[in-house]
Structure 1
């Protein structure tokens, strides 16, 4: 197995495990609302807090990674994330779950920007968009499997087992990453300096191409998390009235993102990243309008199209950052993900009232 193949496989598996863990509670939100007697908005914090914690963590993982390296840090945080995941399964109140989910986010953030920086440093430019697309396809597959498996486990057992299963998955993925990922060849260590790291990160704001990418990342994730956080509540209510397991299966629509994130690399090479991003946004809007329908087939088709556009846009924007960053690539990728995850946390919280006041149509 070549170094390129080993690197992609290791990063793909770790990406799957990370995003499965992040979004494992999305099909459980109606269950949490019933079991703990909390509102849908509070229930959705089990996703939004993870996303916001990841955004906060990215400010220190960039400088830390620049000092200690890429591979061992990514493996360590993924293994460590298994601990709060296991602990959440023993929760007796919902606020303990939220605390554990926040800690999960602080740890899982160590994989995101560091993985993108590793790709930017170790993969040649001719294959960079392909590598980034395959890595992000792991995001979509992991998010899909996390939701589907979570819904099935909760349906046949309970929500407790969901956390225990995903804690084990984090542990295994971290060990595989440590065993398979080739050591960095182009990494140049720098002494740990949070101020310098933040300065490098903020310095990228002077690059017009990167400023646009950061705003795109914010609004992409704002809409994506907001829609998927509340789609479970819509589908559990009339006229759809789906079970927890059926709601989990809805996330098979993520397969469209697996296709589009990989395809995005080829489209970006042919048309350019800006055109690919604009086309992806238009596709997502078409899909979102289709979810206005009370017909479940049209609704699911709309979600599929929405997901296709989102992952294509995210892949193109991510590779655009790596291509246009002038040094301090980890800081450039980190700032993109900070904006991306802040968008997800804000969207997950703010779109809830829209979803309920408009019978879901406000989304």
Structure 2
């Protein structure tokens, strides 16, 4: 039998958006906090840089692997419950990380933390769709991604600046403390699931297969955007520190880390992405955001430091707007009984793009330099824009 969807009265969007944005700030501050203190981790545990970077890689890999199973669990047990457990467990693990007696133990803890964060990352957009409805979804998802970008920026900057006086243990504990406060705010303010919302259908059921078929028709474009745009974005930021520290720029590490302030532009653009999509339409807005990202990337090839800084600000604004529109597109287009699965697929592709793109970017930069890195990432972004246009065309013809 088909699923009967009963529209429930919607909870106030500001309350829902604030709770989910706070969860995003907590989750992504924790996920990326070790990045600026990797040299201190390497010194503490006598590691080479590649081994130390596993503190990031293990967490993001475990997040990607856990997204779909946790999206399925949330469809059965309730999305609010999974989000609450996600933010609380990840913050508590963050407080325990500085006590790790060895690097292998720290990696195990980071893996568990990545799984916990996947509960928020893979479920939040579907939860918002249930709570605010399709008309206000783009704005709510934009607010969520704004919280994610603030968390990623503050986690990196906070850990980096606190590492001097507090050491890597103290800096990680400080980030985790702030994240725990955000988690408590989320627990207190996050509205309960509406019991009248449909549960996820099993993958093998007739309705589940039909929902999967309907999903595939209109979601290929935004899912490709999630993978390719995130891959391009991470590739550029992974190599940015090396480029800024090398001649002729030769910036000190503390000065080079200020590139993460560009995330503030992402915060603003993701929050405004819903209004942009409402005025232009989803497809033109998404393609425009991708082209802005390409333009910002090209600007970073200039030898002048102020122009490079502007380029990073522009590409960050474009990327986060594209991510917000694509993420909202996936959850709005998917049938209600398949929202969790659709959001999980998007998040899985997003983080797979991060891992593959970041690695490929490092290889290309190391062997061919910044110009070739821009050429590669720009081609990914243009292919993503083409996928969006082809998705719209195929949907019109269907």
Shared fold by TM > 0.5?
A: yes
Residue by residue over 1:267-287, the C-alpha shift from the partner in whole angstroms, topping out at 9 and shown as x without a partner, is 111111111111111111111
Q: Is the 8 A contact 2:25 2:179 kept in 1?
A: no
Matched, 1:123 2:132: yes
Matches of 2:146 and 2:137, distance apart in 1: 14
- By how many angstroms is 1:88 displaced? 2.6
Q: Is the 8 A contact 2:22 2:183 kept in 1?
A: no
Greater Rg, structure 1 or structure 2?
Answer: 2
Matches of 2:118 and 2:106, distance apart in 1: 18
TM-score (norm 2): 0.82
Matched, 1:322 2:331: yes
Give the equivalent residue in structure 1 for 2:16: 7
Give the equivalent residue in structure 2 for 1:269: 278
Q: Is the 8 A contact 1:149 1:248 kept in 2?
A: no
- By how many angstroms is 1:228 displaced? 1.8
User: Secondary structure in 2 aligned to 1:352?
Assistant: helix
Give the equivalent residue in structure 2 for 1:163: 172
Matches of 1:202 and 1:25, distance apart in 2: 39
Matches of 1:202 and 1:94, distance apart in 2: 44
Residue by residue over 1:210-269, the C-alpha shift from the partner in whole angstroms, topping out at 9 and shown as x without a partner, is 112111110011112222223223333333333443233221101111111122111111
Residue by residue over 1:21-45, the C-alpha shift from the partner in whole angstroms, topping out at 9 and shown as x without a partner, is 1222232345445665545444433
Give the unaligned 5+ runs of structure 2.
1-10, 374-398
TM-score (norm 1): 0.90
Matches of 1:181 and 1:22, distance apart in 2: 21
Matches of 2:42 and 2:282, distance apart in 1: 41
Give the equivalent residue in structure 1 for 2:58: 49
Moved more, 77-86 or 265-274: 77-86
Matched, 1:340 2:356: no
Q: Is the 8 A contact 1:19 1:146 kept in 2?
A: yes
- By how many angstroms is 1:297 displaced? 1.5
Matched, 1:147 2:156: yes
Q: Is the 8 A contact 2:200 2:340 kept in 1?
A: no
Give the equivalent residue in structure 1 for 2:111: 102
Q: Is the 8 A contact 2:158 2:175 kept in 1?
A: no
Matches of 2:210 and 2:95, distance apart in 1: 33
Matches of 1:12 and 1:44, distance apart in 2: 27
Give the equivalent residue in structure 2 for 1:292: 301
- By how many angstroms is 1:205 displaced? 7.6
Q: Is the 8 A contact 2:26 2:180 kept in 1?
A: no
Residue by residue over 1:43-92, the C-alpha shift from the partner in whole angstroms, topping out at 9 and shown as x without a partner, is 43332332222111111111211121122221112111123323332345
Moved more, 49-58 or 35-44: 35-44
User: Secondary structure in 1 aligned to 2:194?
Assistant: coil
Aligned residues: 360
